[in-house]
Amino acid sequence: MINVMLVDDHGLVRTGIKRILEDAHDIDVVAEAENGEQAINQVRRKKPDVVLMDVSMPGIGGLEATRRITRSSPGTKVIAVTVHRESPYPSQLLEAGASGYITKGCDVSEIISAIKSVHKGNQYITQDIAQKLALTFIRNGDRPPLETLTQRELQVMLMVAQGISNKEISEQLCLSPKTTSTYRYRLFEKLGVDNDVELTRLAIRYGLIEETLLH
């Protein structure tokens, strides 16, 4: 039996995926979480084999949660489940330790295949995303600005775009306020923006956050 945890800030999404997995007799949903912080705590308590991790959530988000879970609980595999097909998410999540990356538009059989594959120790990436990653790897010339961001820079960008204060970002990511400010201004420089509003618009335009997260 493969024990799975579902992480998504939308209860209806978790319910839908849970019902899908109920038909797979060798998969059991043992825990749920609605944000990254809850996911980290639940992994410590429930020790699931596989976590289906949403990326765009309030708080620290799926990227940082993935990084912390894979470092503290190496026996737990993380599959990113997201609407984002474009960079920088796939490569950043894989670098953070995710074992898989699938989109919310994939069919039932692919979700189940991904869970079984990463549970066996393999990596599973939806075909169209794998192709994009391959093209990115072999492409010559300058990379798009978002692809130049480090994992930490991307994490700070997402939190700034959600309206989270410097103090809260520092506390949640265990950074000094000075370091957080440095990341913030480095983002402005790399992305060619002048303020938080422009940074937020950029994040929305590239599909890194949903406008609903801002309300």
For residue range 21-55, list pLDDT tens digits in order. Answer: 988 889 999 999 999 999 999 999 999 999 999 98
Cα–Cα nearest to 4, from 118, 142, 129 = 118
Mean pLDDT, range 203-208, rounded to an integer? 70
**Rounded-to-integer distance, Cα 182 and Cα 156, Å:** 10
Whether 157 and 71 share a structural domain: no
Whether 103 and 21 share a structural domain: yes
Question: Which amino acid, residue 104?
Answer: K
Q: Which pLDDT value is given to residue 73? A: 93
User: Given the structure tokens 């994009």, which residue do they identify?
Assistant: 132
Region of poorest pLDDT, from 70-74, 81-85, 158-162, 191-195: 81-85
Whether 156 and 51 share a structural domain: no
**Rounded-to-integer distance, Cα 100 and Cα 117, Å:** 9
Whether 95 and 153 share a structural domain: no
**Rounded-to-integer distance, Cα 58 and Cα 64, Å:** 12
Indicate which CATH number applies to the domain containing 112: 3.40.50.2300
Choose the final residue of a domain: 104, 137, 170.
Answer: 137
Q: Which pLDDT value is given to residue 44? A: 95
Whether 90 and 189 share a structural domain: no
Whether 124 and 153 share a structural domain: no
Whether 114 and 149 share a structural domain: no
Whether 126 and 149 share a structural domain: no
Q: Which tokens in the block code for residue 6?
A: 């579902």
134 pLDDT higher than 60: no
Cα–Cα nearest to 199, from 174, 164, 171 = 164
153: confidence class by pLDDT, cuts 50, 70, 90: confident
- Work out the mean pLDDT of the chain and round it to a whole number: 83
Choose the final residue of a domain: 109, 137, 165.
Answer: 137
Whether 76 and 162 share a structural domain: no
How many structural domains is the chain composed of?
A: 2
Whether 132 and 163 share a structural domain: no
Q: Residue 171 belongs to what domain range? A: 145-214
**Rounded-to-integer distance, Cα 113 and Cα 134, Å:** 21
**Contact 115/80 with Cβ under 8 angstroms?**
no
The strand order across the sheet containing 124-125 reads 27-33, 2-7, 50-54, 77-82, 100-103, 124-125
Indicate which CATH number applies to the domain containing 176: 1.10.10.10
Q: Which pLDDT value is given to residue 130? A: 65
pTM: 0.68
